[in-house]
């Protein structure tokens, strides 16, 4: 098992660098280019959400990104000590917004504040959110060496 840990300032200008680093790690551990790009997008969305919503866009706070890999999965934990995620946002993250999409057939009608959460929900194999003490923890998991169809059947 390998672990890499990044700590960045709560500055949106830092997001791209972390996302690119995660993409490189994904490729290194055996995810294909498409999956690596998907994970990169999810990390960018999650870190951006932490800065915009948990820290209300304020700089000078920290966001921690820990990437752990083993032979069959990649786990990314994003932690910060800002405002907790609201119940409705947690529901969208964990369960998606299938009802809006099913009713309308149009993902673009999703609430603007929920598109990033829906992307994360759709592209990662597992997603978990917890609040421990005074910190928020978002855990994103991507299986290595399995296509999305076989991962979904598990």
Domain that holds residue 148: 2-152
Count: domains in the chain: 1
Residue range 14-25, pLDDT digits in tens? 999 999 999 999
Comparing 118 with 108, the larger pLDDT belongs to: 118
Q: Model confidence at 143, in pLDDT bands (50, 70, 90)?
A: very high
Tell me the average pLDDT across 5-15: 97
DSSP string for 64-75:
EEEEEE-SSEEE
Domain of 123: which CATH number? Answer: 3.30.565.10
Rounded CA-CA distance 12/101 in Å is 29
Sign of CA dihedral 26, 27, 32, 37: positive
Is pLDDT above 80 for 115? no
Percent of the residues in the chain that have a pLDDT greater than 70, as a whole number: 83
- The backbone torsions φ and ψ at residue 39, rounded to the nearest 5 degrees and listed phi first, read -65, -40
């Amino acid at each position: 098992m390998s672990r890499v840990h990044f700590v960045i300032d709560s500055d949106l200008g830092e997001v791209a660098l972390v996302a690119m680093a995660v993409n490189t790690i994904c490729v290194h551990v055996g995810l294909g280019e498409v999956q690596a790009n998907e994970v990169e997008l999810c990390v960018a969305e999650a870190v951006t959400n932490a800065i915009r919503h948990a820290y209300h866009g304020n700089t000078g706070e920290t966001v921690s990104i820990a990437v752990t890999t083993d032979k069959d999965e990649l786990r990314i934990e994003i932690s910060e000590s800002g405002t907790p995620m609201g119940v409705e946002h947690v529901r969208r993250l964990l369960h998606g917004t299938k009802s809006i999409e099913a009713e309308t057939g149009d993902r673009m009608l999703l609430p603007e504040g929920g598109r990033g959460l829906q992307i994360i929900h759709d592209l990662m194999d597992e997603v978990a959110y917890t609040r421990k003490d005074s910190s928020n923890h978002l855990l994103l998991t991507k299986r290595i060496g399995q296509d999305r169809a076989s991962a979904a059947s598990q």
